[in-house]
Chain A
Amino acid sequence: MIWCARCGGALSNRGADRGADRGTDRGTDRGAAPAVDGDAPPAVDGDAAPAAARGGHEACAAALALEPPRFCPRCRRRMKVQVLPTGWVATCVEHGRTQG
């Protein structure tokens, strides 16, 4: 499974995680808010997933042009993000730093 870096919703399924098929987004279609910093968030019923998570995340992709990623695309943990004048650094407690 790959997770949307903006809303934390399911982005695509590589077939490795059956549980992820059920939908795992935890917020509105304007962005999800995890309950616990850095912890793997709990799964919720697929019907509760926002439209963006059920669709192609076009709005998220557009928004990411002006936002740093907030969720780790590998594990969906909420990352610590430092925005700098000419870039950003995002840190996942499990998967380390990415920057752009």
Chain B
Amino acid sequence: MPLMPKRVKHRKSQRGRIKGKATRGNRVVFGEFGLQTLQGGWVSAATLEAARVAATQYLRNEGRLFIRVFPHKPITSIPLETRMGKGKGEPEYWAAVVKPGTVLFELGGVGADAARICLSRMAHKLPVKVRLIKRQTA
């Protein structure tokens, strides 16, 4: 089941604007390798789930996957062939708002080759350009 909040203060939110680059959540901190976005955008909960399933199928219970973003934002839409007006549409799905530089996923406990293949399979599912990064050593 895709990720979504358990409790929210409001059912709908305004669209907002993505300004600037990520100044937090832009380094690998839990695992050894990560997928960092090069573009900003909305990543839906279904997309995150698809990437997670792709990783799980490849890893086969080896290593550990960390999902670094959470879909907090409700995205609404109005049905097809509906006349304009009558208020804002109903929530359709949940999305994570990502700025360029955000680390979406991290992998730990696997070798460099396996991590590269796994993260590249996950990257195919994503709507933003990403790159593979390694943990910066202390």
Do these two chains really belong together in a complex?
no
